[in-house]
Amino acid sequence: MTVLKTGLKADRPAIFSTINGRIYLTNDFDRIQAWDGVWSATRDAGIAAPAAVIGAGSQAAGNVTLGVHLVRYRYTDSTSPGGAYRSNPSTALSVTIATTTKQITFSVGASATDIIRSTDVKCDTIQIEATAAGGTNYYVVGTVLNAGVTSYVYNVSDTVLAAGELTSLYDDFGHEQPPAGAILTECRNYAFLGGAHARAVTVGVTSAGVTVTSAAALSTLWVGRLIRIGSEATQYLITAAASASSVTISPAYVGTTNASASAMVYAKNPNRIYWSKAGFPESFKAASRVRDVLNGRGDRLVAMTDFLGDLYLLGTRSIQRLVFVDDPLTGELNTIAGEFGVWTQRCLYGLDGALFGWGANGVWMMTGGRPRWISKPIDRTVAALVDTTKSDQFHATYDPKEKVLRWHFVATGDVNPKHSLAYDLQGERWCIDQWRQGLDAGVTVANANGTLRLAVADSANGRAWYSEGAADGVPASSSGDYTVGGSSTTTVIQVTGSSLPTGAGTDLAGTVLYDVTSAQERLVSSNTVSAITLSTALSAAPAIGSSVYVGAIPCVVQSDWHVFDGQEEKTRPPALWLKFVPQTAGTLRIEIYKDFSETPMTWTRSASEPNPKYATITNNGTFATLSLTSAATNDGFAVVPLFADWARAWRYKVTVLSPAGTLQLIDARFSFESKKDTGRETTE
pLDDT at 682: 47
Query: Residue 510 and residue 341: Cα distance in Å, rounded?
Result: 35
- pTM, two decimal places: 0.78
Which mean pLDDT values do the consecutive 10-residue runs of the chain (684 residues) have? 63 87 92 89 93 92 96 93 90 94 94 87 94 96 93 95 92 93 95 94 95 91 95 93 93 94 94 95 95 89 95 95 94 91 96 94 91 92 93 94 94 92 91 84 85 82 63 68 92 93 82 82 91 94 89 72 73 84 79 91 78 75 82 77 84 77 78 60 49
pLDDT at 288: 95
pLDDT at 632: 64
Query: Residue 186 and residue 178: Cα distance in Å, rounded?
Result: 14
Is the four-CA dihedral 534, 539, 540, 542 of positive or negative sign?
negative
pLDDT at 383: 92
Residues whose CB is less than 8 angstroms from the CB of residue 298 and which lie 6 or more positions away in sequence, other chains included: none
Given strand 362-366, what is the order of strands in its sheet?
348-351, 354-359, 362-366, 372-373
530 φ/ψ sector (left φ>0, alpha ψ -120 to 50, else beta):
alpha
Closest CA to 154 of 263, 72, 35, 78: 72
State residue 385 phi and psi, 5-degree precision. -105, -35
Closest CA to 147 of 122, 173, 180, 112: 122
Query: Residue 30 and residue 79: Cα distance in Å, rounded?
Result: 23
pLDDT at 618: 76
Query: Residue 582 and residue 262: Cα distance in Å, rounded?
Result: 60
Task: List pLDDT tens digits, range 223-245.
Answer: 999 999 998 889 999 999 989 89
Closest CA to 618 of 632, 604, 628: 604
